[in-house]
Chain A
Amino acid sequence: MTTPTTQSEPLILEMRSITKEFPGVKALSNVNLKVKAGEIHAICGENGAGKSTLMKVLSGVYPYGSYSGDIIYQNEVQQFKDIRASEHAGIVIIHQELALIPELSITENIFLGNEPTKRGVIDWAEARRRSLELLARVGLRDDPDTPIKEIGVGKQQLVEIAKALNKSVKLLILDEPTAALNESDSQHLLDLILGLKAKGITSIIISHKLNEIEQIADSITIIRDGKSIETLNVKADGVDEDRIIKGMVGRTLESRFPDHEPKIGEVFFEVKNWTVGHPQIPDRLVCKNSSFYVRRGEIVGFAGLMGAGRTELARSVFGRSYGRFISGHIYVDGKEVHLHNVRQAIDAGLGYVTEDRKTLGLNLLDDIKTTTVSANLKKISKNFVVDANKEFAVAEQYRKSLRTKAPTVQEGVAKLSGGNQQKVVLAKWMFTEPELLILDEPTRGIDVGAKYEIYGIIQRLANQGKGVIVISSELPELLGLSDRIYAIFEGAITGVLNKDEATQESLMKLMTSSRKAA
């Protein structure tokens, strides 16, 4: 571990051997973080490495007592019991999902929960005067009476920072601040953070965009699998993107994969020039001119960081169930098909297993058998009457073949563990007999044993000559499973690598920049 800190430089924050456990999972284990006063400190790591958890510990979202270890802030051990307590101490966190109220004006949002009052009545004149001052500091020239919904995401981000400044912030935490911003907005934001630094405000920035980190960070702490790996001093250590990537992915494969001999056939599914707009924001694209294909018997991986547009691509292809369709073509067996809704997509042989099992994948009121047949009721019914015997038989058959652990198929899905719920969802889609099954984060929140079984199921499907698309944030999983991997960055496909040429480093490079594959 390289510790460039010398004793002479004062620390504003030290987190000492922080350990945070969730039931069954150790999210953080002995994490150390030292942030010097007045610096910009970046935290890097893969999705799920524990960055956000660490910041939630720091800001009091996980209160004192729910973790072990010490937080020393401004030379005092702190015991934050909630966000208010940490904000009171001058630590403000700005989340990726902005916490602004769209219908309220800029001023109202800045002073929300913190309104200046005169004899118990809100003093709007004072609020407006102060918000003008704050907006000038963040370089926003809009009228403070403008409703939030009428300004772009970039400006909203600035309002969040103005709100933080109003709380006399000393330590500003930004979680993926530029994830939703375009290039010029991003640059403006980065300049602002540098400007705040000049005024003595310390920032912790979490970002997947390594070029930005290289540009503004003074030091970088890398977190991997819930452990702090190293802290780099950007200038002294001569850190570049490759060095950060190496730190982020440098691990051996922990999960095992069943052996698999791919039997790859001809191309049967193809998407060309797929462009889709954001469902609410008019001029934002979530998929930019993306083209890809899948061959029979092939497992195709989609790699990309959170928010890169993987799910958006998959769902928009799956019967336009996400976003505003703008242009693009889908070909099945060489023939163009038009899939306007999910029903048509299912009938055309597509299946989509969502990443969000609980809110999009399951009706938690249902039992296993009802869920299993829910996407293909036609097959077990005659004259629109569901044949309960067939339903039971089908569910039972899948329960056995997928080894779902449940006493009976009458068991409610809400009672099952994550791995078994996922098996039920898989059963539901396998029962629709898709030619192409899209799996979005198929092993999220599932323990290692169940992961192994799900990998086996995916490979069996491929062996039957079906196409499988696997979207995953876990690079080892993609590398272990896929025959070919597409990388997505900001809604565009930035490259495709065959199994033998893909490495974590090469993928991470494609996933974090718009540069084409070398």
Chain B
Amino acid sequence: MNALKKLFGGNTRQFGMIFALVALIVFFQIFTEGRTLTPGNVINLFNGNSYILILAIGMVLVIIAGHIDLSVGSVAAFVGVTVALAIRDWGIPWYMGVLLGLGLGALIGAWQGFWTAYVGIPAFIVTLAGMLLFRGFNQFVGKSNTIPVPQDFQYLGSGYLPEVGPNTGYNNLTLLLGLIAVAFVVYGELRARRNAKALGAEVPEGWVMATKLILICGAILYATYLFATGRPGTSFPVPGLILAVLVLIYGFISSKTVVGRHIYAVGGNRHAAELSGVQSKKVNFLVMMNMSILAGLAGMIFVGRSTASGPFDGVGWELDAIAAVFIGGAAVTGGVGTVIGSIVGGLVMAVLNNGLQLLGVGADLTQIIKGLVLLAAVAFDVYNKTQGKKSIIGMMMKNFGRTPTVLQPDETTKTKEVISKEV
């Protein structure tokens, strides 16, 4: 127990949710008699949810900044149909189609960002309008028809890493990717630890880090094994690769860059941020614009996967993405949340969906369960706010985490002490 405390304690907030995810996977693995962790199922799970997870990346930034975006499903659909039409009717190559889609997403985002940031209309309203608007555009432009996309564009949504190199019985590129990921994780952790030590900051004990690394790397390697041993022709899917790249980029932006800091600052306390020189309007604009670009990307991946664009693409996606973000520990009031947390939150929903499906549970019951999970997650979050803690993770880790050191209210030096020091 003590070991667990040390392992999961501290400020690693994602661990609680990861814990839940692992528990969920184990549960389904047992009750589906091993059908959950098969290469085919895992690949399916990734392919079928990558676009929601991409939306969750944008959505967490929106929610951290204190807004919400209800229009992502419609934006994705509109971008999808426009690109599909452009490729069919204008005969542009697939990469021009992608560029067009991203550009259109940026344009839509600028529109929504303008109303939200500079006119000051709540994002809820702006994007509710956008939800209607762009759904309408999707059906108007596509004349409510299904528009197929060519083979090379489909690669975006349903392609796999190719087979290269000697025949090892595994997919070589997938293996390579897994090894790179492991090396990256180990190097990053060691470097962070060295820096922290050099600065004299508090670092966990060596065995704690070692156990943590072994667990993470074990998980990565196992996933690699699953992806590399699928049915011939399958391997790590392209949407998964795109997702991984985006997670890296946005994880970096949100935690390490000036822009990222500003997003958290605006969401945490807008007035304080403004009085510190943060230009909150610009931040809000960028966040809204970014969301629509990612929505455009998600729309294109979905079109690629389903081989055609249709009038009802993306219906309900916004809700899945928002749910993923909140389950992943973001706060409704803004200022709290992480990219990786949202991905884990999205995976929890995905595994739940998938597992229940494998068990043969009907769509009705699945929705009921998913609804309850979301409610429970946010209820914990709200409950913890009133308890002075930050999020669901804190709650879930209550028994694992260190008891927070509560400072005495009067921690300042007494006058006498100060004077004696000065003398």
Pair A361/B275 contact, Cβ less than 8 Å: yes
Stretch at the interface among A26-34, A71-79, A91-99, A383-391: A383-391
Pair B277/A416 contact, Cβ less than 8 Å: no
Pair B417/A449 contact, Cβ less than 8 Å: yes
Nearest chain A CB to B121's CB is how many angstroms away?
A: 19
CB-CB nearest in chain B for A367: B11
Given A389-B199, A393-B199: A450 in contact with B265 (beta carbons within 8 A): no
Cβ of B11: which chain A residues have Cβ within 8 Å of it?
A: 410
Pair B269/A450 contact, Cβ less than 8 Å: no
The contact size tier of chain A is 35 or more
Q: Which B245-275 residues have a C-beta within 8 angstroms of A? A: 256-262, 264-265, 268-269, 271-275
> B200, B202, B404, B410: which has the most chain A beta carbons within 10 Å?
B410
- Is B279 close to A, CB under 8 A? yes
Pair A363/B407 contact, Cβ less than 8 Å: no
- Is B403 close to A, CB under 8 A? no
- Is B211 close to A, CB under 8 A? no
Pair B415/A256 contact, Cβ less than 8 Å: yes
In the bound complex, CA of A318 to CA of B276 (Å):
11
Given A364-B269, A386-B258: A450 in contact with B277 (beta carbons within 8 A): no
Which of B274, B405, B412, B419 contacts A321 (CB under 8 A)?
A: B274
Cβ of A419: which chain B residues have Cβ within 8 Å of it?
A: 411-412
Given A449-B413, A453-B412, A453-B413: A342 in contact with B274 (beta carbons within 8 A): yes
Which of B275, B279, B388 contacts A360 (CB under 8 A)?
A: B275
Pair A448/B261 contact, Cβ less than 8 Å: no
In the bound complex, CA of A254 to CA of B91 (Å):
84
In the bound complex, CA of A381 to CA of B274 (Å):
20
Cβ of A361: which chain B residues have Cβ within 8 Å of it?
A: 272, 275
In the bound complex, CA of A427 to CA of B102 (Å):
42
Q: Which A407-466 residues have a C-beta within 8 angstroms of B? A: 407-410, 414-417, 419-420, 428, 446-450, 452-453, 456
CB-CB nearest in chain B for A387: B256
Pair A450/B413 contact, Cβ less than 8 Å: yes
The contact size tier of chain B is 35 or more
Q: Give the 3 A-B residue pairs with the shortest CB-CB distance, closest first.
A: A363-B268, A419-B412, A450-B412
Cβ of B264: which chain A residues have Cβ within 8 Å of it?
A: 363, 365-366
Pair B412/A362 contact, Cβ less than 8 Å: no
Pair B275/A343 contact, Cβ less than 8 Å: no
Pair A388/B256 contact, Cβ less than 8 Å: yes
In the bound complex, CA of A256 to CA of B265 (Å):
37
Which of B201, B258, B265, B390 contacts A408 (CB under 8 A)?
A: B201
- Taking beta carbons and an 8 Å cutoff, which residues of B are in contact with A? 11, 195-196, 198-202, 256-262, 264-265, 268-269, 271-279, 335-336, 388, 390, 404-419, 422
CB-CB nearest in chain A for B10: A410
Which of A354, A389, A420 contacts B411 (CB under 8 A)?
A: A420
CB-CB nearest in chain A for B334: A365
In the bound complex, CA of A21 to CA of B184 (Å):
57
- Is A241 close to B, CB under 8 A? no
In the bound complex, CA of A393 to CA of B275 (Å):
24
Nearest chain A CB to B255's CB is how many angstroms away?
A: 9
Nearest chain B CB to A96's CB is how many angstroms away?
A: 22
Nearest chain B CB to A229's CB is how many angstroms away?
A: 25
Pair A346/B415 contact, Cβ less than 8 Å: no
Pair B269/A23 contact, Cβ less than 8 Å: no
In the bound complex, CA of A385 to CA of B299 (Å):
30
In the bound complex, CA of A452 to CA of B388 (Å):
30
Which of A342, A393, A415, A448 contacts B415 (CB under 8 A)?
A: A448
A332-374 Cβ-contact flags toward B at 8 Å (1 or 0): 0000000001110110000010100001111111100010001
CB-CB nearest in chain B for A405: B411
| A343-B277, A366-B265, A396-B199 known, 4 other contacts, Cβ within 8 Å | A345-B277, A361-B275, A378-B258, A420-B412
Q: List 8 A-B contacts (CB under 8 A).
A: A361-B272, A361-B275, A362-B269, A363-B273, A386-B260, A416-B411, A449-B415, A452-B415
Given A321-B275, A381-B258: A415 in contact with B407 (beta carbons within 8 A): yes
CB-CB nearest in chain B for A448: B415
Cβ of B195: which chain A residues have Cβ within 8 Å of it?
A: 388-389
Pair A362/B272 contact, Cβ less than 8 Å: yes
Cβ of A378: which chain B residues have Cβ within 8 Å of it?
A: 258
Cβ of B410: which chain A residues have Cβ within 8 Å of it?
A: 24, 417, 447
Nearest chain B CB to A316's CB is how many angstroms away?
A: 13
- Is A258 close to B, CB under 8 A? yes
Pair A346/B277 contact, Cβ less than 8 Å: yes
Pair A384/B407 contact, Cβ less than 8 Å: no
Pair A258/B257 contact, Cβ less than 8 Å: no
Pair A415/B406 contact, Cβ less than 8 Å: yes
Pair A384/B271 contact, Cβ less than 8 Å: no
In the bound complex, CA of A273 to CA of B200 (Å):
51
Cβ of A416: which chain B residues have Cβ within 8 Å of it?
A: 407, 411
Cβ of A409: which chain B residues have Cβ within 8 Å of it?
A: 201
Pair B257/A384 contact, Cβ less than 8 Å: yes
A56-87 Cβ-contact flags toward B at 8 Å (1 or 0): 00000000000000000000000000000000
In the bound complex, CA of A456 to CA of B412 (Å):
14
Pair B201/A342 contact, Cβ less than 8 Å: no
CB-CB nearest in chain B for A343: B277
Given A360-B272, A415-B407: A385 in contact with B412 (beta carbons within 8 A): no
Pair A374/B276 contact, Cβ less than 8 Å: yes
Nearest chain A CB to B192's CB is how many angstroms away?
A: 8
- Is A140 close to B, CB under 8 A? no
Which of A352, A384, A415 contacts B258 (CB under 8 A)?
A: A384
In the bound complex, CA of A420 to CA of B413 (Å):
10
Pair A377/B412 contact, Cβ less than 8 Å: no
Pair B412/A363 contact, Cβ less than 8 Å: no
> B196, B275, B410, B422: which has the most chain A beta carbons within 10 Å?
B275
